[in-house]
Amino acid sequence: MKKKIAVIYGDGIGREVTEQAIKALDAVAEVYNHTFIYERGLLGAEAIDATGEPLPHKTIDIAKKSDAVLFGAVGDPRFDNNPAAKVRPEQGILAIRKELELYSNIRPVVSYKSLNHLSPLKLRNIEQVDFVIYRELSSGIYFGEHYTNNNGGTAHDVCTYNVHEIERIAHSAFRTAQQRHKKLHLVDKANVMETSRLWRKTVTEVARQYSDVELKFMYIDNAAMQLIINPGQFDVILTENLFGDILSDESGAITGSLGLLPSASLGSKIGFFEPVHGAFNEAAGKDIANPVGSILSAAMMLEFFNMPEEADLVKQAVSWTLNSGFVTRDIDSVNYYYTSTIGDLISDFILGKIPDAVN
């Protein structure tokens, strides 16, 4: 099969982790006789430096002509503490999500037996963790009006949702729950927020079409605690944009490192794949970042391409490296391997160059 993939490194460690994902994809292409054609686009601080804009038109064109986008990370400390900055790297990622209508952000969280002892959480609480967050990605407070008035004395960020926006991601989340353990938690703040009450009403309606799925409601504050004390209770978590952002970073603590978590953003015909972690600028260029989140995002891309066997092989390769102790510094600060070494090992596994590997 032939696929066109837009590659956007973005900022910080984006380039080095994405390069490892490409190694894995190239290995898959060789084993299964696929052709992956890559075209690079700019986004974030790298794009601001080159063109003055966080999301140049050219990048949108490249993405729209592709079957999928493989994205690295966005963010740069030069902009973080500068409230006067007119353009920000993060505007690039938000704009491309909107442009490609990526309303469904899927973030799976699984614990690895061999890494469980490294989690800050108690072992008995993290065994059997296997859930997926469905985060609404194209609306809510991220995309409401943002402005300051009253001579700079008052700031506003408006949170808006409509029924259609809630319904479409709810259907995706329920369909996934049907394929999994048939449990769905809607996480919201319906005791305070009007948008949350609309989520509850709409999701309750949608649930009638999925009577085999058990629907539960949980407030965001409680969910933040439940994820720490009993993450094994979750199967599918459905939530709005900002709550999903927060809960997905928290989930990084459960697995031992945020660097392990992948994501897929779906909605239109172009899929968008990126690790959950950020740009981690302090580590950029040092070959120490964890490439697993990016490589597993590439595996999600293969699933999206309808290549389940290929995706499984990549996941097996990742499990084999982790279970064999080939981990980066975020996971083991004493015995660690470099980003590129992990990428090489994973691609060698895929190519069958590690004959005695057991996973």
Tell me if residue 4 is catalytic.
no
Among positions 11, 90, 188, 235, the unique one binding ligand IPM when judged by CB under 6 A: 90
Q: Which is nearer to Mn ion, 67 or 250 (CB)?
A: 250
**Is position 245 an interface residue for Mn ion (rule: CB under 5 A)?**
yes
Q: Does 12 bind ligand IPM (CB under 6 A)?
A: no
245 is a catalytic site residue: yes
- Give the separation between CA 201 and CA 326, rounded to whole angstroms: 47
74 binds, among ligand IPM, Mn ion, none (CB under 5 to 8 A by kind): ligand IPM
Mark whether 221 is an active-site residue: yes
Q: Which DSSP symbol is given to 52?
A: S
296 sits near ligand IPM (criterion: CB under 6 A):
no
Pairing status of strand 271-275 against strand 262-266: antiparallel
CA quadruple 138, 141, 142, 146: dihedral positive or negative?
positive
Catalytic residue among 142, 161, 210, 337: 142
The question of whether 348 is a catalytic residue gets the answer no
Residue (274 or 310) nearer to ligand IPM, CB: 274
3-state secondary structure of 296: helix
Q: Are 138 and 267 in contact (CB under 8 A)?
A: yes
- Residue of 245, 287, 315, 337 marked catalytic: 245
The least distance separating ligand IPM from the CB of residue 75, rounded to whole angstroms, comes to: 6
Q: Rounded to the nearest 5 degrees, what angle is found at the Cα of 139, between the Cα atoms of 136 and 142? A: 105
Active-site residue among 4, 98, 182, 189? 189
Q: What is the per-residue binding string for ligand IPM in 235-254, x denoting contact by CB under 6 A?
A: ----------x---------
Decide: helix, strand or coil at residue 4: strand
**Least distance to ligand IPM, CB of residue 91, Å:** 9
**Residues 22, 27, 74, 159: which binds ligand IPM (CB under 6 A)?**
74
Q: How far is the CB of 103 from Mn ion (least distance, A)?
A: 16
Query: For the CA atoms of the chain, what is the radius of gyration?
Result: 20
249 is an active site residue: yes
Report the alpha-carbon distance of residue 353 to residue 112 in Å, rounded: 23
Tokens of 317: 């390769």
- Work out how close the CB of 358 gets to ligand IPM at its nearest, in angstroms, rounded to a whole number: 35
CB atoms within 10 A of CB 257: 22
CB closer to ligand IPM out of 172 and 248:
248
Helices (DSSP H) in the chain: which residue ranges? 14-32, 45-51, 57-64, 77-80, 89-99, 123-126, 163-179, 194-207, 220-229, 241-255, 292-304, 308-323, 339-350
Instruction: Single out the catalytic residue among 49, 80, 157, 221.
Output: 221
Least Å distance, CB 278 to ligand IPM, is 6
The residue (of 142 and 199) whose beta carbon lies closer to Mn ion is 142
Residue with tokens 């469980």: 116
> What torsion do the CA atoms of 44, 49, 50, 53 make, to the nearest 10 degrees?
50
> Minimal distance in Å, beta carbon 93 to Mn ion?
10
Contact at 8 Å (CB) between 263 and 107? yes
User: Given the rule CB under 5 A, which residues bind Mn ion?
Assistant: 245
User: Given the rule CB under 6 A, which residues bind ligand IPM?
Assistant: 74-75, 90, 93, 245, 276, 278
Indicate which residues carry an active-site annotation. 142, 189, 221, 245, 249
